Amino acid sequence: MASEGQTVSEYIVHHLTNLTYGKLPAGSVRFDGSVVGEGGLWTMAHGGQEAGAMGFMAIHVDSMLWSIGLGLLFCWLFRRVALKASSGVPSGFVNVAEMLVEFVDGNVKTTFHGRNPMIAPLALTILVWVFLMNLMDLLPVDLVPGLLALAGVHYQKIVPSTDPNITMGMALGVFILMLFYSIKIKGMGFIKELTMHPFNHWIFIPVNLFMEVVGLLAKPFSLGLRLFGNMYAGEMIFILIAALYGAGALWFAPAGLIHIAWAIFHILIIILQAFIFMVLTVVYLSMAHEDH
């Protein structure tokens, strides 16, 4: 809900600004009017302008902490399941975890055509981790940022998958695995695949190389940007709905109904995007294992 003295535009921009740490270059003008001296200043950014001035090496602290924290939560939960697992009838979260494992195992067997014991655990990790990051989108947009603001933390984005640095970082990890297994499985055949497909003649090598490299690079970009785009759009709609609560008492009921409807629909998006990221990862790694 937009606070008093804050316009809707300022409210939206505030909620879309990451908690950023980096180095402000010398001569930068800070939010309080002070000028950064020689040698620059390592500090938390106050607003998007300071974050932009920090450049490429700035770190989105909130995205890193939430994504790592949710990853550790996944490891802790499934470690508990592994310790509790027995030959008897599973119950509670153990049953849910076993269903997830069987679901992922079935999808990997259907989609992945090579032999690699790492693919199924990787797919399970991606599915649950991305789902947990997406799930943060269902928390009220002002809840966690409002609580942290009381502790002096003025910016906080709690949905890591709305940060392109996180989604593209995960996609880059998948891309590195694709290249690794392509070279390991195919050897020099990978070079031939890039240069002699689809036109099997040396005169078309430049054309083949251009087409294959573009197709290869499109995979991680489509993987990361698809997740980011869908989650960012969903978060933006939640912020716009939250801004309606500040438009007056007459908007409380309509905004509440819209909020509930969008949250229910967004549950499908959260699950679907995690599943798509997992399936595409398995498909791309399966392609890397196929030796023609």
**Angle, helix 252-289 to helix 164-186, in steps of 10 degrees:** 20
| Residue 77 token pair | 């939960």
Helix (H), strand (E) at residue 118 = none
For residue 44, list its beta bridge partners.
Answer: 21
Helix (H), strand (E) at residue 239 = helix 205-244
Report, as ranges of residue numbers, the positions in the chain whose pLDDT lies below 50.
none
Q: Please give the pLDDT value at position 89.
A: 63
Give residue-wise pLDDT tens across range 213-269: 999 999 999 999 999 999 999 999 999 998 888 777 788 888 889 989 999 999 999
Name the DSSP letter for residue 204: G
Starting from the edge strand earliest in sequence, which strands make up the sheet with 41-44, in order?
41-44, 20-24, 59-60
Q: Please give the pLDDT value at position 203.
A: 87
pTM comes to: 0.90
Terminal Cα-to-Cα distance of the chain (whole angstroms): 57
Per the CB < 8 A criterion, the answer to whether 160 and 18 are in contact is: no
Decide: helix, strand or coil at residue 116. Answer: coil
| Residue 242 token pair | 């939250």
Per the CB < 8 A criterion, the answer to whether 141 and 168 are in contact is: no
| Residue 118 token pair | 């790492």
Peptide bond into 117 cis (omega under 30): no
At 275, which amino acid appears?
F
Q: Which residues does the annotation mark as catalytic? A: 222, 226, 230
CA distances from 14 to 20, 101, 156, 165 (A): 13, 39, 9, 19
Contacts 24+ apart (CB under 8 A), 234-240: 234/137, 234/266, 234/269, 235/16, 235/137, 235/141, 235/159, 235/162, 236/12, 236/16, 237/262, 238/137, 238/141, 238/262, 238/263, 238/266, 239/11, 239/12, 239/15, 239/16, 239/141, 240/12
Q: Please give the pLDDT value at position 279.
A: 96
Q: Please give the pLDDT value at position 256.
A: 87
Q: Please give the pLDDT value at position 282.
A: 95
Q: Please give the pLDDT value at position 196.
A: 84
What's the length of the chain? Answer: 292
Q: Please give the pLDDT value at position 247.
A: 75
Q: Please give the pLDDT value at position 154.
A: 86
Q: Please give the pLDDT value at position 71.
A: 95
H helix runs in 58-202, sequence order: 61-84, 93-111, 119-135, 143-150, 164-186, 188-195
